[in-house]
Protein backbone atom coordinates (compact mmCIF):
# COMPACT_ATOMS: atom_id res chain seq x y z
CA UNK A 1 0.00 0.00 0.00
CA UNK A 2 2.79 2.45 1.01
CA UNK A 3 4.58 2.09 -2.32
CA UNK A 4 1.72 1.22 -4.67
CA UNK A 5 1.63 4.66 -6.34
CA UNK A 6 5.36 4.55 -7.01
CA UNK A 7 5.26 0.96 -8.31
CA UNK A 8 2.45 1.87 -10.66
CA UNK A 9 4.24 5.00 -11.95
CA UNK A 10 7.58 3.20 -12.23
CA UNK A 11 6.13 0.60 -14.60
CA UNK A 12 4.64 3.41 -16.69
CA UNK A 13 7.98 5.23 -16.73
CA UNK A 14 10.27 2.27 -17.34
CA UNK A 15 8.03 0.41 -19.79
CA UNK A 16 9.71 -2.93 -18.97
CA UNK A 17 9.53 -5.79 -21.45
CA UNK A 18 10.19 -8.36 -18.72
CA UNK A 19 9.23 -7.89 -15.07
CA UNK A 20 9.93 -10.42 -12.30
CA UNK A 21 8.80 -10.36 -8.69
CA UNK A 22 10.49 -12.60 -6.09
CA UNK A 23 7.93 -13.08 -3.31
CA UNK A 24 4.30 -12.35 -4.12
CA UNK A 25 2.16 -14.05 -1.48
CA UNK A 26 -1.33 -12.49 -1.91
CA UNK A 27 -0.08 -10.57 -4.94
CA UNK A 28 -0.62 -7.00 -3.81
CA UNK A 29 2.55 -5.55 -5.35
CA UNK A 30 2.36 -7.93 -8.31
CA UNK A 31 -1.19 -6.72 -8.98
CA UNK A 32 -0.02 -3.10 -8.92
CA UNK A 33 2.63 -3.86 -11.56
CA UNK A 34 0.27 -5.90 -13.73
CA UNK A 35 -2.44 -3.27 -13.53
CA UNK A 36 -0.02 -0.58 -14.64
CA UNK A 37 1.10 -2.73 -17.60
CA UNK A 38 -2.55 -3.09 -18.57
CA UNK A 39 -3.54 0.56 -18.02
CA UNK A 40 -0.61 1.77 -20.10
CA UNK A 41 -1.10 -0.85 -22.84
CA UNK A 42 2.48 -2.03 -22.46
CA UNK A 43 4.07 -5.02 -24.07
CA UNK A 44 5.47 -6.64 -20.93
CA UNK A 45 5.56 -10.18 -19.58
CA UNK A 46 5.27 -10.40 -15.80
CA UNK A 47 6.35 -13.33 -13.62
CA UNK A 48 5.62 -13.80 -9.92
CA UNK A 49 7.91 -16.36 -8.26
CA UNK A 50 6.94 -17.85 -4.90
CA UNK A 51 6.49 -21.25 -3.31
CA UNK A 52 3.21 -19.89 -1.89
CA UNK A 53 4.05 -21.77 1.28
CA UNK A 54 5.35 -18.83 3.33
CA UNK A 55 8.68 -18.29 5.08
CA UNK A 56 9.95 -17.66 8.60
CA UNK A 57 8.71 -14.04 8.54
CA UNK A 58 5.29 -14.46 6.93
CA UNK A 59 4.64 -17.82 8.64
CA UNK A 60 3.21 -20.67 6.61
CA UNK A 61 -0.15 -20.16 4.93
CA UNK A 62 -2.74 -22.25 3.15
CA UNK A 63 -3.56 -23.07 -0.46
CA UNK A 64 -6.35 -20.49 -0.57
CA UNK A 65 -3.78 -17.67 -0.95
CA UNK A 66 -2.36 -19.17 -4.13
CA UNK A 67 -5.79 -20.16 -5.46
CA UNK A 68 -7.18 -16.64 -4.98
CA UNK A 69 -4.19 -15.02 -6.71
CA UNK A 70 -4.18 -17.53 -9.56
CA UNK A 71 -7.87 -16.82 -10.13
CA UNK A 72 -7.33 -13.06 -10.05
CA UNK A 73 -4.42 -13.20 -12.49
CA UNK A 74 -6.40 -15.48 -14.81
CA UNK A 75 -9.35 -13.11 -14.78
CA UNK A 76 -7.52 -9.78 -15.19
CA UNK A 77 -3.98 -10.30 -16.54
CA UNK A 78 -4.27 -13.59 -18.38
CA UNK A 79 -2.20 -12.94 -21.49
CA UNK A 80 0.93 -11.54 -19.92
CA UNK A 81 1.18 -12.51 -16.23
CA UNK A 82 2.38 -15.89 -14.94
CA UNK A 83 2.85 -17.46 -11.52
CA UNK A 84 5.96 -19.62 -11.10
CA UNK A 85 5.34 -21.81 -8.09
CA UNK A 86 8.85 -22.78 -7.05
CA UNK A 87 11.84 -21.49 -5.08
CA UNK A 88 13.70 -18.44 -6.36
CA UNK A 89 16.78 -20.60 -6.92
CA UNK A 90 14.83 -23.11 -9.02
CA UNK A 91 13.35 -20.29 -11.14
CA UNK A 92 16.57 -18.38 -11.81
CA UNK A 93 17.93 -20.67 -14.60
CA UNK A 94 14.72 -20.00 -16.55
CA UNK A 95 15.79 -16.37 -17.11
CA UNK A 96 18.68 -15.36 -19.36
CA UNK A 97 21.39 -13.05 -18.17
CA UNK A 98 20.63 -9.39 -18.89
CA UNK A 99 16.95 -10.04 -19.66
CA UNK A 100 14.95 -8.55 -16.76
CA UNK A 101 14.09 -4.83 -16.94
CA UNK A 102 12.38 -4.60 -13.56
CA UNK A 103 13.04 -6.95 -10.64
CA UNK A 104 11.24 -6.71 -7.29
CA UNK A 105 12.97 -8.56 -4.43
CA UNK A 106 10.46 -9.22 -1.64
CA UNK A 107 11.21 -12.71 -0.31
CA UNK A 108 12.63 -13.59 3.10
CA UNK A 109 14.05 -10.45 4.70
CA UNK A 110 17.10 -11.74 6.59
CA UNK A 111 20.46 -10.32 5.50
CA UNK A 112 21.64 -13.74 4.32
CA UNK A 113 18.50 -14.49 2.29
CA UNK A 114 18.18 -11.11 0.60
CA UNK A 115 21.92 -10.99 -0.18
CA UNK A 116 21.64 -14.44 -1.74
CA UNK A 117 18.60 -13.37 -3.81
CA UNK A 118 20.36 -10.19 -4.95
CA UNK A 119 23.58 -11.99 -5.91
CA UNK A 120 21.72 -14.75 -7.75
CA UNK A 121 19.43 -12.44 -9.70
CA UNK A 122 21.64 -9.40 -10.35
CA UNK A 123 23.18 -10.98 -13.50
CA UNK A 124 19.66 -11.57 -14.83
CA UNK A 125 18.90 -7.85 -14.83
CA UNK A 126 19.43 -5.86 -18.03
CA UNK A 127 21.87 -2.95 -18.19
CA UNK A 128 20.02 0.13 -16.99
CA UNK A 129 17.42 -2.18 -15.39
CA UNK A 130 15.82 -1.43 -12.04
CA UNK A 131 15.83 -3.56 -8.88
CA UNK A 132 13.37 -2.81 -6.07
CA UNK A 133 14.00 -3.93 -2.47
CA UNK A 134 11.13 -4.05 -0.06
CA UNK A 135 11.54 -3.32 3.68
CA UNK A 136 14.87 -1.45 3.66
CA UNK A 137 13.75 0.56 6.73
CA UNK A 138 12.61 -2.40 8.82
CA UNK A 139 15.01 -3.22 11.69
CA UNK A 140 12.96 -5.47 13.93
CA UNK A 141 14.28 -8.96 14.84
CA UNK A 142 16.47 -10.53 12.19
CA UNK A 143 15.28 -8.30 9.32
CA UNK A 144 18.44 -7.37 7.44
CA UNK A 145 17.49 -5.77 4.12
CA UNK A 146 18.64 -2.45 5.65
CA UNK A 147 22.15 -3.87 6.07
CA UNK A 148 22.43 -5.02 2.47
CA UNK A 149 20.94 -1.71 1.36
CA UNK A 150 23.63 0.27 3.23
CA UNK A 151 26.28 -1.73 1.35
CA UNK A 152 24.58 -1.32 -2.03
CA UNK A 153 24.20 2.44 -1.57
CA UNK A 154 28.00 2.72 -1.53
CA UNK A 155 28.37 0.96 -4.89
CA UNK A 156 25.31 1.75 -7.02
CA UNK A 157 22.95 4.45 -8.26
CA UNK A 158 20.15 4.26 -5.70
CA UNK A 159 17.10 6.02 -4.34
CA UNK A 160 15.55 5.18 -0.94
CA UNK A 161 11.94 5.75 0.01
CA UNK A 162 11.92 5.96 3.80
CA UNK A 163 8.17 5.88 4.45
CA UNK A 164 6.31 2.72 5.41
CA UNK A 165 8.81 -0.10 5.76
CA UNK A 166 11.01 1.52 3.13
CA UNK A 167 11.61 0.76 -0.52
CA UNK A 168 15.02 0.78 -2.18
CA UNK A 169 15.42 1.51 -5.89
CA UNK A 170 18.69 0.51 -7.58
CA UNK A 171 19.67 1.14 -11.19
CA UNK A 172 22.08 -1.30 -12.78
CA UNK A 173 24.87 0.49 -14.70
CA UNK A 174 24.80 0.64 -18.50
CA UNK A 175 21.85 0.86 -20.82
CA UNK A 176 20.73 4.20 -22.20
CA UNK A 177 22.18 7.38 -20.70
CA UNK A 178 20.13 8.74 -17.81
CA UNK A 179 19.19 11.84 -19.88
CA UNK A 180 17.34 9.57 -22.33
CA UNK A 181 15.33 7.85 -19.60
CA UNK A 182 11.84 9.05 -18.71
CA UNK A 183 11.40 11.96 -16.33
CA UNK A 184 10.66 9.84 -13.24
CA UNK A 185 13.84 7.77 -13.71
CA UNK A 186 15.88 10.95 -14.20
CA UNK A 187 14.44 12.47 -11.03
CA UNK A 188 15.20 9.30 -9.05
CA UNK A 189 18.86 9.15 -9.96
CA UNK A 190 19.89 12.71 -10.79
CA UNK A 191 21.97 14.41 -8.10
CA UNK A 192 19.43 16.98 -7.00
CA UNK A 193 18.72 16.78 -3.23
CA UNK A 194 15.65 19.02 -3.69
CA UNK A 195 14.14 16.78 -6.39
CA UNK A 196 14.89 13.66 -4.34
CA UNK A 197 13.26 15.10 -1.26
CA UNK A 198 10.20 16.23 -3.23
CA UNK A 199 9.88 12.79 -4.80
CA UNK A 200 10.09 11.07 -1.41
CA UNK A 201 7.40 13.37 -0.02
CA UNK A 202 5.14 13.00 -3.05
CA UNK A 203 4.99 9.19 -2.86
CA UNK A 204 4.70 9.22 0.93
CA UNK A 205 1.56 11.35 0.53
CA UNK A 206 0.33 8.97 -2.20
CA UNK A 207 0.72 6.03 0.22
CA UNK A 208 -1.12 7.87 2.98
CA UNK A 209 -3.93 8.76 0.59
CA UNK A 210 -4.45 5.12 -0.43
CA UNK A 211 -4.43 3.98 3.20
CA UNK A 212 -6.97 6.64 4.23
CA UNK A 213 -9.19 5.73 1.31
CA UNK A 214 -9.10 2.07 2.30
CA UNK A 215 -9.91 2.90 5.94
CA UNK A 216 -12.82 5.10 4.83
CA UNK A 217 -14.15 2.27 2.62
CA UNK A 218 -13.93 -0.25 5.49
CA UNK A 219 -15.70 2.18 7.82
CA UNK A 220 -18.47 2.79 5.25
CA UNK A 221 -18.92 -0.96 4.71
CA UNK A 222 -19.17 -1.70 8.44
CA UNK A 223 -21.72 1.11 8.89
CA UNK A 224 -23.79 -0.17 5.97
CA UNK A 225 -23.72 -3.68 7.46
CA UNK A 226 -24.80 -2.30 10.86
CA UNK A 227 -27.70 -0.39 9.27
CA UNK A 228 -28.80 -3.52 7.40
CA UNK A 229 -28.69 -5.57 10.60
CA UNK A 230 -30.75 -2.93 12.40
CA UNK A 231 -33.36 -2.78 9.62
CA UNK A 232 -33.70 -6.57 9.64
CA UNK A 233 -34.21 -6.42 13.44
CA UNK A 234 -31.06 -8.44 14.28
CA UNK A 235 -29.38 -5.47 16.02
C1 LIG B 1 6.87 -10.62 2.17
S2 LIG B 1 6.02 -11.88 1.29
C3 LIG B 1 5.68 -11.11 -0.29
C4 LIG B 1 4.72 -9.96 -0.19
C5 LIG B 1 4.15 -9.47 -1.50
N6 LIG B 1 5.17 -8.91 -2.39
C7 LIG B 1 3.02 -8.47 -1.30
O8 LIG B 1 2.93 -7.46 -2.00
O9 LIG B 1 2.17 -8.68 -0.42
C10 LIG B 1 7.33 -13.01 0.97
C11 LIG B 1 6.98 -14.23 0.13
O12 LIG B 1 8.20 -14.78 -0.35
C13 LIG B 1 8.08 -16.18 -0.41
N14 LIG B 1 9.46 -16.72 -0.35
C15 LIG B 1 10.42 -16.41 0.57
N16 LIG B 1 11.58 -17.00 0.24
C17 LIG B 1 11.35 -17.71 -0.89
C18 LIG B 1 12.18 -18.51 -1.74
N19 LIG B 1 13.48 -18.70 -1.50
N20 LIG B 1 11.61 -19.07 -2.82
C21 LIG B 1 10.29 -18.87 -3.12
N22 LIG B 1 9.46 -18.11 -2.35
C23 LIG B 1 9.99 -17.53 -1.26
C24 LIG B 1 7.19 -16.57 0.74
O25 LIG B 1 6.49 -17.76 0.45
C26 LIG B 1 6.25 -15.34 0.84
O27 LIG B 1 5.02 -15.60 0.21
Ligand 1 pocket check: which of 21, 25, 89 to mutate, most ligand atoms within 8 Å of Cβ? 25
Distance 107 CA to ligand 1 centre (A): 4
> Given a cut of 80, is residue 122 above it in pLDDT?
yes
Nearest to 49 by CA among 111, 100, 12, 123: 100
Report CA(47)–ligand 1 centroid distance (Å).
13
Is 123 touching ligand 1 by the criterion CB < 6 Å?
Answer: no
Ligand 1 midpoint to CA 188 (Å): 26
Q: What does the mean pLDDT of the chain come to?
A: 94
* Ligand 1 center–CA 177 separation, angstroms: 33
The three state secondary structure string of the chain is CCCHHHHHHHHHHHCCCEEEEECCCCCHHHHHHHHHHHHCCCCCEEEEEECCCEECCCEECCHHHHHHHHHHHHHHCCCCEEEEECCHHHHHHHCCCCCEEEEEECCCCCHHHHHHHHHHHHHHEEEEEEEEEECCCCCCCCCCHHHHHHHHHHHCEEEEECCCCCEEEEECCCCCCHHHCCHHHHHHHCCCHHHHHHHHHHHHHHHHHHHHHHHHHHHHHHHHHHHHHHHCCCC
Task: Give the bridge partners for 160, in sequence order.
Answer: 168
Q: Please tell me the predicted confidence (pLDDT) of residue 127.
A: 97
Instruction: Name the band, by pLDDT with cuts 50, 70 and 90, for residue 10.
Output: very high
Strands of the sheet containing 45-50, edge to edge, are: 81-85, 45-50, 18-22, 100-105, 125-134, 167-171, 157-161
Whole-number Å distance, alpha carbon 53 to ligand 1 midpoint, is 8
- The pLDDT tens digits for 29-86 are 999 999 999 999 999 999 999 999 999 999 999 999 999 999 999 999 999 999 999 9
Q: Is the CB of 121 inside a 6 Å radius of any atom of ligand 1?
A: no
Q: What is the pLDDT of residues 175-187, one digit of tens each?
A: 999 999 999 999 9
Domain ranges across the chain: 4-231
Q: With bands split at pLDDT 50, 70 and 90, how would you rate the model's confidence at 235?
A: low
* Closest to 83 measured CA to CA, from 99, 67, 97: 67
Q: Which fold has domain 4-231?
A: Rossmann fold (3.40.50)
- Name the residue of 55, 73, 138 to mutate for ligand 1: max ligand atoms within 8 A of Cβ: 55
Amino acid sequence: MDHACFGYDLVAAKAPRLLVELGSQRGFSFGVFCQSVRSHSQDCTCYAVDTWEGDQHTGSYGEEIYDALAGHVREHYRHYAYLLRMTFDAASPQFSDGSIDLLHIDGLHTYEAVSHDFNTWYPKVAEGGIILFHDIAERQGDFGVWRLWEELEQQHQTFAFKHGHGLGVLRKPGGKPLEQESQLIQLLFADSPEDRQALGELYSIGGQFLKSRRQARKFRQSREAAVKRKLSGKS
